Amino acid sequence: MAKATKYVSKTPDEKGVINWTEKENNIWQTLITRQLSCIEGKACDEYMLGLTKLNLPQDRVPQLDEISDVLMAETGWQCYPVPALIGFGEFFRLLSEKKFPVATFIRTEEELDYLQEPDIFHEIFGHCPLLTNKSFADYTQAYGKMGLNATHEQRVFLARLYWFTIEFGLLDTPNGLRLYGGGILSSPGETEYALNNQSVERKTFEILDVLRTPYRIDIMQPIYYMIPEVAYLDEIRKFEVEEIMAFVEKAKELGLHAPLYPAKEAS
């Protein structure tokens, strides 16, 4: 998970405050006003309720303590400042402790529409509203516990579970498709693509199928997995770690599905 990045996270001061510049606050304002308009009628009800609870400022980057105060009261979670990218081990440990890792930098104007590294807008706007929801919060913590003692190879398979639920999950509701994955909710392009693109595969969630599905982080997703409601994450969470790892071993035995995207060109 850790790799090279041009971004550097800001360090909170002794009071936990991060000093954002006027330019950075303006970027946050641009991002949040654009995305609030984009997700209207498309995000799931649980996300929109969480967004109301967080009451995110639109004119400045929020302080992590502001978010943590709400999360702690709702589900016992908190935001935890981290460098731009962290390793698998630290990632799983933090989630298992109900600490959501937030890289304390914000993208540049040149990368408003997309960047590979998860910045503070992606983490706060994309994920934190649903961390006010008990099913989503409990599932995220359980996921962290799954990976704590896993091998590197097992963690690679587990990454697909995170990718196709927490990052790029869809709900198939009686009122139509709704978004709950933070990677979609924080991206205007992915929001429209996930819901409306005619060539995309949208499949009912099956854990073994998910563990066998490769993905790329630098393209629009060719496949999304759907669950009926956020509370369905409780059903996945009920699997014991040993059962999850048995699915991982079965996925390794069967091998990956053929990718639905072209091979990445060598740089």
| Residue range 217-237, pLDDT digits in tens | 999 999 999 999 999 999 999
257 is in an annotated binding site: no
CA 204 to chain centre: 19
pLDDT at residue number 3: 55
Does residue 152 form part of some domain? Answer: yes
> Looking at the domain assignment, is residue 98 inside a domain?
yes
Model confidence at 1, in pLDDT bands (50, 70, 90)? Answer: very low
What does each C-alpha distance from 190 to 69, 99, 216, 222 come to in angstroms?
30, 26, 14, 11
Domain count for the chain, please give it. Answer: 1
pLDDT of 115 > 90? The answer is no
d(CA 44, CA 178): 5
Residue 244, domain member (yes or no): yes
Q: Does any domain span residue 116?
A: yes
What is the band of 267 on the pLDDT scale with cuts at 50, 70, 90? low
| Band (252; pLDDT cuts 50, 70, 90) | very high
Q: Is residue 9 part of a domain?
A: no
Question: Is 259 within the bounds of a domain?
Answer: no
Q: What is the pLDDT of residue 4?
A: 66
Of 113-127, 156-170, 201-215, the range with the lowest mean pLDDT is 113-127
Identify the CATH number of the domain in which residue 89 sits.
1.10.800.10
Residue linked to tokens 């693109």: 197
Domain-embedded: residue 155: yes
Establish whether 152 is an annotated binding residue. no
**pLDDT over threshold 80, residue 45:** yes
Can you give the three-state secondary structure of the chain, one letter per residue?
CCCCCCCCCCCCCCCCCCCCCHHHHHHHHHHHHHHHHHCCCCECHHHHHHHHHHCCCCCCCCCHHHHHHHHHHHCCCEEEEECCCCCHHHHHHHHHCCEEEEECCCCCHHHCCCCCCCCHHHHHHHHCCHHHCHHHHHHHHHHHHHHHCCCHHHHHHHHHHHHHHHHCCEEEECCEEEECCHHHHCCHHHHHHHHHCCCCEEEECCHHHHHCCCCCCCCCCCEEEEECCHHHHHHHHCCCHHHHHHHHHHHHHHCCCCCCCCCCCCC
What is the domain extent for residue 217? 22-254
Q: What is the mean predicted confidence (pLDDT) over 255-261?
A: 95
For residue 31, is it within any domain? yes
